[in-house]
Structure 1
Amino acid sequence: MTKPNQRPGPNEPAWWFIVAAGELVLGRDEPLPPHGMAAQMPMPDLSEYKIVFLGELRERNCYLVLADYGDTQFAELGEFGNVRELLTVGDEALFAIAARAKQVSEFLSTHRFCGRCGVRMHEVDWELAMHCHSCQHRCYPRISPCIIVAIRKGRQVLLARGKRHPEGLFSVLAGFVEAGEAIERTLEREVMEEAGIKIKNPRFVGTQSWPFPHSLMIGFTAEWESGELRLDPFELEEGDWFDIDKLPRIPSAGTIARRLIDRLKTEIDQETESRG
């Protein structure tokens, strides 16, 4: 097992995920993390920074570099920006590593002290964990599973705008899995709570790590079974059934929400073609 505290070699070409206050250093011309040998890049002495090994991307090691808010030592490499910007590149593997970098930085910053006895915690040198030597409590990076589901009714797709969505942006329904709850139950419950309808034929599509701050989105498509649309006013600003060919502004390519909507569109188009 590769140790999380593995240090990069002096002439090792690598991907550098430099994170401060939840933001990542990205290039100005193209939103990519820095890549190359540290010795040949305009970077400060990394011995002064906490570094965590994240894994590999296309046979190159990836390292998280924990910087302080307002750190200007990496200014020549790019600017601190939102990890979402990487979605525009269309590289799922790169976004996954960046998501891991953000989530690991969040974990380390929020687990400095033991949640059980309050004593300062220490990093485990052979796995990514924090350990309390006083009460032996050990913590690992938190992952919060969420369902996200695109629902169709004939040629229509259910889309809604949450309170935190930008004006005019509509997406599919989503919600967190509760403690002790099966994912199938979460699907039924969240759809009923947010839209007041029952669904049938749920089909798993895929997952996406969503580092805001530590979610794992579990994506499904499903079909309307019964019930009139009744939106939860505490969660949603507005929503409706939209014809698949007349959709409002929807999430950008690269997001799992867009993948689910595109999946339904493909299904509907294929059904239309088969009917002649």
Structure 2
Amino acid sequence: MDELITMTAAELSAAMAAGDVSAADVTEAHLDRIAAVDDRVKAFLHVAADDARARAREVDARRKAGEPLGPLAGVPVAVKDLFTTIGMPTTCGSKILGDWHPPYESTITQRLRNAGAILIGKTNMDEFAMGSSTENSGFGPSHNPWDLAKVPGGSSGGSAAAVAAHMAPLALGTDTGGSIRQPAAVCGIVGTKPTYGGSSRYGVVAFASSLDTPGPLGRTVLDTALLHEVMSGHDPMDSTSINAPVPPVVEAARHGDVAGLRIGVVTEFAGDGYQPGVMARFTEAVELLESLGAKV
């Protein structure tokens, strides 16, 4: 079971497709991990254990029957508690909503359900997404799993902490002014903000509607690309949704070529105040990109 929680979403998907492990086993391993560590990390506001187990059994039955399944079938996903979900509370990190159970499902979580992903629970956040440390939740702060005395970033800090602590291989967040990218960086994982309009806002409680963008978090670029492709796409329920095909981000993650790519970097990134470890990793990334033919 310990091996299952350290595998990437892509690895778990391949193992389940090959019949090496069941969705039920994958789900149980992550529920066990949540039970073991989340009393300290406090990434989750709600764990949907019974529903997750039931949906995992459904995925296993569909696979046994020979039904073609997508790459996220049986893969656990943690959901920022800003997405409306039927059968789970949606609090937005606020006691104002308390135990509110929405009467409708967000487009993105419905797409994940349709794809066979296992929505394992709802994650903590700064109240109504107004913050950048997940210290401002009405239900108490989340902690960085690398150092419990530090913050996990925010406002998607619960989602980032859940992924970093191996409680879920993937998570949903929202980004208005950095609320996916910043906690991903603080927790040492991967988080991306899709192009505005590329992921539906329907069923996402608004902070700033002209900026709010749902997006994926994972431990690898490929994992975030897998989640991106499933969650994204045109939605007539969102008036700002882009009516265009989803870019082939999974193909780019698997076989992308950065030769000739020009990457702009803010000059202040090399200024005073950065920790040596951060600067060292940044320098390594620049050197790797330049060795692959990119110009930074």
TM over 0.5: no
> Taking structure 1 as the reference length, what is the TM-score of the superposition?
0.28
> Taking structure 2 as the reference length, what is the TM-score of the superposition?
0.27
